[in-house]
Structure 1
Amino acid sequence: MFERIKKSYFLRQVGVSIKNNIFTFCYFKEDKTPEFFSIKMEGKNELLSVLENTFGRMNNFNQYQWVASISPHYIWQKSIVFPNYIEKQERLQQALFLLESELPVALEDIWFDINEKFFVQSIRMDLFAIQQEKVKSYVNQFQPIKITVLDNKIYAIKRAFTYLIPPDIFSNECLEKSIFVYQDSQSVIVIAETAQQLIILEKISQKITALVSEFCQQYELLPTQVFLFQDDINQEDSYPENWFIVETPLPFIPLGNALWAKDKIVNKGGVNEY
């Protein structure tokens, strides 16, 4: 999403996250199987030593693409729907006008990204923007790693779900009828898509079923499937019949980060149906 630098070649792409001073890494080997490990940040030299033992000396280490993601709480987001006959240049001009008119800071002080989804009679443009100062503050905590790509965490979450859910349970054709729910000890993120908008809700941890029910009522959604991943959270006693609990030993967010721009990596998935 928000790319810091561009290189023509990287030895490997690595998804990384940091929580409670613990770095977690996930990457795919040449046979496309995932690997992961965690390091408690005791000091810069110790971290570098572990990374060099895993990824090689620093001259190779700096050629890796490091992908992190940031909470949607820090990202301004809006969707615009265009008739499908509107040309790309005109859509871009309207997007830039909207950014300039609605954001309280100048365009040169933000990083922004534009994603488009094409439907039969319309085009949905999703706009994202974040202040550069917030980006600098966030990526600095990963030092001595130099983050190459900073993504929106909602996309890391969606990639991880897509990787883990078997295709016989979920496909892109089901997207508008599906809700994705990610919960950890800090917050709950609920994600849904329609032809008109990308809908995101982030709240502190609470009762999941009640939150999703309120979310659906607020946005008039009638999902046929709800996919839930809970990271070290006690599950509720029961869930509605159309809920699927996604389980994996892999670190969820670093996995989604590692899958950035890797659409061809697939997995059989691990899902429990309720």
Structure 2
Amino acid sequence: MFIKRTPSIQVGLWLRHHAIDVVWFDKDNRPHSECLEKLDLLELPATLNLRLAMPARRKSPYKFITAIMPHHIWQKTLILPHNLTPLECEQQCHFTLSNELPLPLEEIWYDYAATPLKQGFRLEIFAIRQQIATDYLQQFMPLQIEVLDNMAKALLRGAEYVLGKPLPAEAIFLYQDEQGGLAVQPKLQQNQTLFQTETNLTALFEQYCHRYDEKPEAVFYLQTEDTETAVPDHWHCLSTELPLIALGNALWQQDTYAKSTALFDAPIG
């Protein structure tokens, strides 16, 4: 028996103060975006069906993906001498979380990314308090969010899609919208981030350099229209009409330049 399976369409969502940014790709791999009021979420599947000329189905073909601010996420990277099986990865996660977090495992959602290296094995562990995650996802009801990612990773995916190439080595990306500013610098072991609610990008950059004792060789940035301020002339501005975080969410696990894993890839009821 042959069963025709319709691949799911990834829809990236990002919650702002009074609206939700939505990004998806059509069958020709072209991105599209919408800005919705929260009350419009109920109609989003029907809106997508119309925009994509999809027939109405009992089971939705859409995989809804969003992200949460990195300061809500605990993470640790382990470099181990040999490869681990999936079961051994789970056991290592349990051991690490039990020893390093002051919470019982049943109050934590966690995920991991395993990467074989030329010499050794890298295990990245991510964790978040269940209550924080469920409270956040409640704002997207009645949609069922299937993937909750790290907003910093989504930003980097979106930035590299707009650039059309990987972020250069030793470069930093700065982002600012009405909720604040975020600095993200990719590192071998884990991304370094700094979030500030009330700051401009120049001050954010200086604070980042002081905190991490870093001097990035190149600066890429994006400001939303309502937050534009002057920045040094040698910084590189990203230009796109697409909402960057929702774009990065829609690109989760796609063949972009930066390979990124989910924070949590599980149906959430």
Structure 1 length as normaliser, TM-score?
0.79
The answer (yes or no) to whether the contact 1:160–1:252 under 8 Å persists in 2 is yes
Residue 107 in structure 1 maps to residue 99 in structure 2: no
Contiguous gaps of at least 5 residues in structure 1: 1-7, 267-274
Instruction: Give deviations 1:113-170, integer Å, cap 9, x for gaps.
Output: 2234566656554321112222222112111211111111111101101101133xxx
* Aligned match of 2:198: 205
2:14 to 17, 24, 28: 17
CA distance in 2 between counterparts of 1:57 and 1:144 reads: 21
* Aligned match of 2:181: 188
Identical aligned pairs, as a percentage? 31
Q: How many residues align?
A: 251
What does residue range 91-240 of structure 1 map to in structure 2 within 5 Å?
93-116=91-114, 123-167=121-165, 171=166, 174-175=168-169, 177-239=170-232
Q: CA deviation at 1:60?
A: 5.5
Residue 30 in structure 1 maps to residue 3 in structure 2: no
1:13 is paired with a residue whose SS is strand
The answer (yes or no) to whether the contact 2:83–2:121 under 8 Å persists in 1 is no
Counterpart of 1:101, as a letter, is N
The answer (yes or no) to whether the contact 1:13–1:27 under 8 Å persists in 2 is yes
1:88 is paired with a residue whose SS is coil
CA distance in 1 between counterparts of 2:184 and 2:73 reads: 15
Q: CA deviation at 1:20?
A: 3.2
* Aligned match of 2:236: 244
CA distance in 1 between counterparts of 2:41 and 2:176 reads: 30
* Aligned match of 2:267: none
CA RMSD of aligned residues (A): 2.9
Q: CA deviation at 1:192?
A: 1.5
Counterpart of 2:200, as a letter, is K
CA distance in 2 between counterparts of 1:194 and 1:22 reads: 32
CA, structure 1 residues 86+236, in 2 after alignment: closer, same or farther (shift >3 Å)?
same
Deviates more, 1:106-115 or 1:143-152: 106-115
CA, structure 1 residues 43+114, in 2 after alignment: closer, same or farther (shift >3 Å)?
closer
Q: CA deviation at 1:246?
A: 0.8
* Aligned match of 1:88: 84
* Aligned match of 1:69: 67
